[in-house]
Amino acid sequence: MHTYNYRHKSSGTKNTKGSSTPNGSKKLWLLECMEGKLGRIFTLYANSQEDAETQVQEYYLLHPELTHVSLSERPDGFIFFNFRRPGSIECKEQG
């Protein structure tokens, strides 16, 4: 497992653990799914739609109770109850 430094252009830095993340800009994606009658929205950052879809498939393997509804790119960001998620982040591998 590697540690990566994720940074949005208008904010400070945040250290986060991730796996196999190359350097460069990643876009925000929203995953909408259902768990029974309950709707859920998850956020993820990916280099491309293919990368996002791969992450989604891995997540569904870990959570088979979820049913896919939609996956959408949100490069301008998204606000959850007054909590803003940036539209993209810069990634740099840390030692």
Asked whether the CA dihedral 68, 52, 11, 14 is positive or negative, the reply is positive
Lookup: tokens for 75: 């490069």
Measured CA to CA, the distance from residue 76 to residue 49 in angstroms comes to 16
Q: What would the pLDDT profile of 44-55 be if each residue is shown by its tens digit? A: 999 999 999 999
Read off the pLDDT of residues 18-77 as tens digits, 9 standing for 90 and up.
344 456 889 999 999 999 988 899 999 999 999 999 999 999 999 999 999 999 999 998
* pLDDT above 50 (res 10): no
Question: In 3D, which of 39, 55, 59 has the Cα closest to residue 47?
Answer: 55
> For the chain, what are the domain ranges?
25-85
